[in-house]
Amino acid sequence: MSENATVTPDTPPPPPSTPIVTPSESDERTWAMLGHLSAFSAFITGLGCVIGPLIIWLIKRDTMPFAGEQALEALNFNISAIIAAAALGVFTLITLGIGALITVPLFFVLFVGWFVLTIVAAVKANSGEHYRYPFTLRLIK
């Protein structure tokens, strides 16, 4: 043996190095798309449009920055849509139902806009583009 190589029976071997696993770009884009599409769970539960993106944002924001960013964008957009729908509902109540002549068509426009923008955002996120919804209050940062 050489002079530099000393072996002692009491020294444990070094721990094995754990590989750092990073999510693939494809996985991150898929999760970003799901962050947007999870808003369609509103058809099952009323507040699903907020709960779906919120869950994905909370789970993926630290491990997948792009997916977290897109889920947060979807969350803010859906909160903004709920606020707009609530404002239309309050207006209808305040006018004792007469305002429904205005609010019913606006509800329809709001719904179609929500549906179309959610699909556009999901497609853009799946292609890796950073999408920002128009007319959105950025309440959660």
Q: Region 40-62: what's the mean pLDDT?
A: 92
pLDDT of 113 over the 90 cut: yes
Q: What per-residue confidence (pLDDT) applies to 44? A: 85
Q: If pLDDT is split at 50, 70 and 90, which confidence band does 48 have?
A: confident
Query: Is pLDDT larger for residue 11 or for residue 141?
Result: 141
For the chain, the residue count is 141
Interatomic CA distance for residues 112 and 135, integer angstroms: 14
Q: Region 26-55: what's the mean pLDDT?
A: 93
Interatomic CA distance for residues 99 and 38, integer angstroms: 32
Q: What per-residue confidence (pLDDT) applies to 3? A: 55
User: How far does CA 78 lie from the centroid of its chain?
Assistant: 10
Q: What per-residue confidence (pLDDT) applies to 43? A: 87
Q: Are 135 and 80 in contact (CB under 8 A)?
A: yes
Query: Is pLDDT larger for residue 9 or for residue 19?
Result: 9
Q: What per-residue confidence (pLDDT) applies to 47? A: 84
Q: What per-residue confidence (pLDDT) applies to 8? A: 58
Q: Are 40 and 58 in contact (CB under 8 A)?
A: no
Closest CA to 125 of 80, 73, 54, 48: 73
Interatomic CA distance for residues 32 and 24, integer angstroms: 12
Q: If pLDDT is split at 50, 70 and 90, which confidence band does 45 have?
A: confident
Output the pTM of the full model.
0.81
Q: Where are the domains of the chain?
A: 25-126
